Each structure stands twice: as C-alpha cells, then as structure tokens.
Amino acid sequence: MNQLFKPLNKSDFLPLSFKTVSKNSYSFFNLRFKVGAFIFLLILLFAIFGPMFSGYTYDEINLESKNLPPSKEFIFGSDELGRDVFTRFCYGARISLSIGLIAAIIDLVIGVVYGAVAGFLGGKIEELMMRICDSLYAVPYLLYVILLTVIFSPGFVTILIALTITGWINMARIVRAEILKIKNQEFILAAITIGASKRRIIFNHLIPNVSTTVITTLMLSVSQAIFTEAFLSFLGLGIQAPVSSWGTMICDGISALYYYPWRLFFPAMAITLTILACNLIGESLKSSFKVI
Amino acid sequence: MTRFLLKKLFIFLGAMFSISSLTFFILKAIPGDPFVQAENLPEEVLKSLYAHYGLDKPIMVQYLQYLKGIITLDLGPSYVYQGRTVNQILRDGLPVSAILGIQSFFIAVLFGGLLGSFAAIKKNKWQESAIVIFTSILVSIPNFVLASLLQYFLAMKLHIFPIARFDSIMHTFLPTMTLSALPIAFISRLIRNSLLETYKKDYIQTAISKGLSPNKVFFYHTLKNSLIPVVAYLGPLLTYLITGSFVIEKVFAIPGMGMWMIQSILARDYTVIMGLTIFYSFVLLSLNLATDMACAFLDPRILLFDKKRDILNEPIV
C-alpha cells in the first residue's frame, strides 16, 4: 500500500543534467579530476620521453661525478655511483606505471568476469565461487606476495604475478555486489523474456551497467599496485639492481639522507604524487557517479 | 548466535589449516635449500645436517611432524642462525613489535575518531574541506616515504626525536607517528561518512525533534550506530600495522618481528618464514573472528545477513 501512494518526486522528471546536486560539488569534482589527471599525465610524459632527452642510461656508472647536487648537467643530481638520478627516475616511472596499469587491467578482466558470472548465476555456483574468494581473502595479501617473491626470483614478472594472483578478488566481490543490485530490474527480465543467452545478458547487459563502479575500483587498484611494487622494491624483494624503481631509489636515498637529501626527495615526491593522482581521479569519479 | 559462531570458527580452523599446508608445500617445492646455497659443504656434512634437521625423511613424515609442531606450539629451529629457534625469535621480537602496534592502534583510533567526528559536525564548512584534503594527502603518502621524511625533518634537522634504534620511550615516537598516519586518515573518513549516513536516519530526526540536546543525540544515538564500519575495519588495520612494521623496523633499525621476517626472507631461512607466516595469519584470523563477533554484538541484524562483507566491499574513499 505504501508503495502505491508514494508521492512523486519532482526530481525524477528532471533531465539528467539537472540532477547534479549543486554547482559547487560539481566544480569540486572537476577540480579534483583535473589535478589528478594533470599529475598523472605529467608522470606519464616523464616515463615515455624522459630517457630520450636525459643523455644518460639508467646504469651508466660515472665514478668521477658521485653524489652531485641538482645542476644543469644532472637535473636531479647523481647518486653514489655517479648515475643520473633523472634518468633513473624516469625508468622508475616506467616500471611503476606499467606495473600499475597492467596489474589493474588483468585484475579488471578476471575480476569482472568472475564477479558477474557468480552474481548472475546465483545459487550453488555463486556460493562455491564466493567461498573460494573468501578463503583466498582471509590470508593477508602481502604475505602471499612476499611468499611468491621467495619462490620465484624477484623481478618484474614475479611482482606482476604476485599482484594479480590476489588482486582480482576485491574487484570480483565488488562486481558481484553490484550485479546483485541490478539483476532483478526490468531490462534484464526483458532480455531473458525475449530469449537472450546467458552469455549475452552477462556481457551485453550486466557488465556495461556496472562500469561506473568498475572504473572507480580500477583507479584504486592502480594506486594499490603502484604502492605494492614500491613497497617490495624498498624491502629488496622487488625490482633488482641495476634496473631502477622508485622503491629501490628511496631505499638507497634513505641511507644517504643526511648528506644527499635530493636522492630521496625526487622519487619520494614522485610516488606520493602518482598515488595521490590515482586516488583523486578515483574519488572524483566516485562522487560524480553517485550524484547522477 | 551459536550457529553463527560455529560457522565462523569452522572457517577460522579451515583457513589456518590451509595456510599452514600451503606454506609448507610451497616452500618444499622450491629447489635448493640454505645449506646447498651457503657454501660447498662436503657430502658427509650435508648428510648429517639433513639428518639433524630431519630433512632426510619422506615428505609426508616431515609434513606430519610439522603439523604436530604447530599444534604443540613448537615452530622449529632456524636453518641460518645456528642454535636459534623460531620461538626464541618470537619471544624477542614480539614485545617490541607489539608495543609499536598497540601504540599506533590507540593513537589511530583516538585521532581518527576525533578528526572524523569533527569533520561530520562541521559539515559544509571550511574545517570539513581542510580535513578531507589533509586525509587525502595522508592516504597517498607511502609509509616508507613518510618514515624517511619524519626522520629527516624531526630527527636530523630539528633534533626533537632520536633518529633510530629502540631504547627508550622517545624512540617510539617517530615509528608510531609513521605507522598510525594512514589508519588515522582511514578511520576519520569511515567515521565521517558513517556519521553523515546515520544523521539522515529517521530515528535521529525523531530524537532531535523530541528536543534532545545535540550532545545526547550525538553520543547516545548517532555514534553507536556509526561504529560498525570502524569495527569492520579493524582486521585490515591490523594487516596494515603488520606489513607496515616490516618497513618501519627497517627504516628505524628496530629489532622487532618485521625485521626478522625480512631478514629471513632475504636469507631464505625457510623455517623462520613458515613460522612467522603462520604466526601472523593466526593473529590476523583470530582478530577477524573477534571483529565478526563485535559486529554481531553492535548490530544483531548481521547474524541474519552477512552485512560486514558488504560494508568491506565498498571501496573506502
């Protein structure tokens, strides 16, 4: 009875563009998005074009110019073996961004398909699939990653495997929860009624309708992956010398912090800004999707 | 209630068993062991070493002995450090790490709670935006970066705190600050969001319109009903404190469990890795069990629907 006599809400009839709560929150979203995207693109440019202009390679050792402060010759200074910090910084950006993006995309593919299938099929299959998730989720994520780096030799591929082996679970759980919310709506019922196959419903109807949540989660898993790579490299379990990563650069920088602070400053700044950028983009997307 | 508890207990035991079996077989599957890698030992010495550590027996016998060791709380000897056992390492390292962890925990809950409630009370004022921006930055700084920055500015430049080591209470300040930074940001966001959600509920409006004082509405009606996301976050918080301790103990040269964990991984000291992994999992899983019960106590509806899972599914932003 309550449902029948519910008063109509005026805002239901307004076109979509009027529904954004207020101009103020919209511009705040825009600012966050712009700042985040600007930082992200800047780091991306450094990663792609930086090594071309620096005139050094990341492992070029020059013992005559050790630990120089930033100057014209070495924009970001040089480290204890006379390597150019700027070049190593750009290679670090390559490693971080590629690990972040590749890991997030693999998580996305596995997680979305797994979550959507579990959510749509329901019943015993869903129960089983989610129990598998739960039991994998009970073990702390970083313990897995560390154990895996013990088994395989540390390096780029190992980090990637370690990140994706557990990373998709979060995505799968979120996608499943979203699917459960929409799978009883009329358009799905309509699709079933006209005889669409299960595969078509999942891939053409359900997954596109959870894309907002997926994109938000994707940005957060990028920042998670970038952090984990730097964390592992910092502990000496990730990217190995002579290849540079922000984590190893920070680890080296700390040991010479007192006399040569610039060796720590640039990679530390970079990783903080990159994670901040991903978070800002993710947050602004989330709040904008919530409004609509 | 009993059924709920039994189910959770069953999951706990199953997870413990599978973790200990998995770590055992994974580490057994790796070719080579610390003795072969260390130096060129003669055949006879190797053989007697294997016999001493029981490595010459078939793998299933080793597995059973290992399981028996876990049940009787004996995690075995270290292969790399002669004469040390995993239990000794735990006894030395645990108090140090526990002090840091507990301090950080209380500081995170206290300051996070205060910041979050303050932000919720000052909604749409400049104080709220300031707190939101501050916590976004706090979430984005990796703990090892924050540790080194604090070390540089507060210890090396201003000489307020000692740089490293672990001798007095002054030595715990910097590690605790580093370790609690991210949880403060997370908890304050959780509290703020959930307070704002709760304020929209009808029973709060009722309480306000009855004429209760704002303080009474806040403490009696809003706060208790907003606590569930925070209690549900305690599990991830402990995970963060443990993995954070790996970094903090490295940066500040603190002889805790995190430092032993990293050292044993780099030295391929398999028994220590296994023992510490199992110990960490045990602590984490038992805390998860405890938070499940606390959530059920705070909101009995959880017994019917597994609501905590949905709360954790929301990415916290």
Q: In this structure, is the dihedral angle defined by the CA atoms of residues B34, B36, B40 and B46, taken in order, positive or negative?
A: positive
For B12-43, the three-class secondary structure string (H helix, E strand, C coil) is HHHHHHHHHHHHHHHHHHCCCCHHHHHCCCCH
Residue of B nearest to A279 (CA): B140
To the question of pTM greater than 0.90 for the whole model, the response is no
For tokens 């055949």, name the residue. B43
For tokens 């991306």, name the residue. A44
Amino acid A16: pLDDT: 46
What is the rounded average pLDDT for all residues in chain B?
81
Q: What tokens does A46 get? A: 């450094």
Q: Based on the number of CB atoms within 10 Å of its own CB, is B10 exposed (0-12), middle (13-18) or buried (19 or more)?
A: exposed
Q: Using an 8 Å Cβ cutoff, are A161 and A145 in contact?
A: no
**Out of A175-179, B28-32, B217-221, which region has the weakest mean confidence (pLDDT)?**
B28-32
Q: What tokens does A213 get? A: 């949540």
**Contact assignment for B11 to A134 by CB distance below 8 Å:** yes
pLDDT confidence of A15, banded at 50, 70, 90? very low
pLDDT confidence of A102, banded at 50, 70, 90? very high
**Contact assignment for A258 to B156 by CB distance below 8 Å:** yes
Residue of A nearest to B29 (CA): A151
Neighbours of B43 (CB within 10 A): 7
Specify which of A83-92, A140-149, B25-34, B180-189 reaches the highest per-range mean pLDDT. B180-189
pLDDT confidence of B302, banded at 50, 70, 90? low
Amino acid A91: pLDDT: 86
pLDDT above 60 for B308: no
The minimum CA-CA distance between A179 and chain B, rounded to whole Å, is 13
Asked if A141 reaches chain B (Cβ–Cβ under 8 Å), the answer is yes
Q: In this structure, is the dihedral angle defined by the CA atoms of residues A238, A241, A246 and A247, taken in order, positive or negative?
A: positive
Summarize pLDDT for A24-47 with one digit per residue, the tens: 555 565 788 888 899 999 999 888
What distance in Å separates the CA atoms of residue A224 and residue A142, rounded to the nearest whole number?
A: 11
Summarize pLDDT for B245-295 with one digit per residue, the tens: 888 888 888 888 888 888 888 777 888 888 888 888 888 888 878 887 777
Amino acid A75: pLDDT: 75
**Out of A197-211, B26-40, B90-104, which region has the weakest mean confidence (pLDDT)?**
B26-40
What distance in Å separates the CA atoms of residue B316 and residue A283, rounded to the nearest whole number?
A: 9
Amino acid A149: pLDDT: 76
**Contact assignment for B265 to A227 by CB distance below 8 Å:** no
pLDDT above 80 for A246: yes
What distance in Å separates the CA atoms of residue B187 and residue B316, rounded to the nearest whole number?
A: 10
Q: Using an 8 Å Cβ cutoff, are B9 and B1 in contact?
A: no
pLDDT confidence of A290, banded at 50, 70, 90? low
Q: Using an 8 Å Cβ cutoff, are B76 and B85 in contact?
A: yes
Asked if A203 reaches chain B (Cβ–Cβ under 8 Å), the answer is no
What distance in Å separates the CA atoms of residue A282 and residue A151, rounded to the nearest whole number?
A: 34
Amino acid B111: pLDDT: 92
ipTM comes to 0.78
Neighbours of A152 (CB within 10 A): 13
Q: What tokens does B290 get? A: 């405890």
Q: Using an 8 Å Cβ cutoff, are B277 and B15 in contact?
A: no
Q: What tokens does B136 get? A: 């976004």
Amino acid B20: pLDDT: 85
B-chain CB neighbours of A173 within 8 Å are: 309, 313
For tokens 């600050």, name the residue. B177
Q: What tokens does B91 get? A: 């006894």
For residues B114-120, give the mean pLDDT: 88
For tokens 């905590």, name the residue. B308
Specify which of A249-263, A266-280, B303-317 reaches the highest per-range mean pLDDT. A266-280
For residues B212-235, give the mean pLDDT: 80
More confident residue, A28 or B69: B69
Summarize pLDDT for A156-171 with one digit per residue, the tens: 888 888 888 878 888 8
Summarize pLDDT for A47-78 with one digit per residue, the tens: 888 777 777 777 777 777 777 777 777 777 77
Asked if B13 reaches chain A (Cβ–Cβ under 8 Å), the answer is no
Residue of B nearest to A25 (CA): B124
DSSP letter at B77? B
Amino acid A109: pLDDT: 92
Q: What tokens does A83 get? A: 């390597």
For residues A174-203, give the mean pLDDT: 85
Q: Residue A149 carries which side chain, given as an amino acid letter?
A: T
Amino acid B37: pLDDT: 60
pLDDT above 70 for A146: yes
pLDDT confidence of A216, banded at 50, 70, 90? confident
Neighbours of A14 (CB within 10 A): 10
pLDDT above 60 for B311: no
What distance in Å separates the CA atoms of residue B299 and residue A23, rounded to the nearest whole number?
A: 37
What distance in Å separates the CA atoms of residue B187 and residue B114, rounded to the nearest whole number?
A: 10
Neighbours of A199 (CB within 10 A): 9
Q: What tokens does B283 get? A: 């602590």
pLDDT confidence of A17, banded at 50, 70, 90? very low
pLDDT above 60 for A134: yes
Q: What tokens does A96 get? A: 């971080």
Specify which of A33-37, A129-133, B215-219 reaches the highest per-range mean pLDDT. A33-37
Range list of H helices, chain B: 2-29, 34-38, 43-53, 59-71, 86-121, 126-140, 143-150, 173-199, 202-209, 214-216, 223-225, 228-251, 257-266, 270-298, 307-313
**Among residues B133, B44, B57, B143, which one has the least CA distance to residue B100?**
B143
What distance in Å separates the CA atoms of residue B86 and residue B93, rounded to the nearest whole number?
A: 10
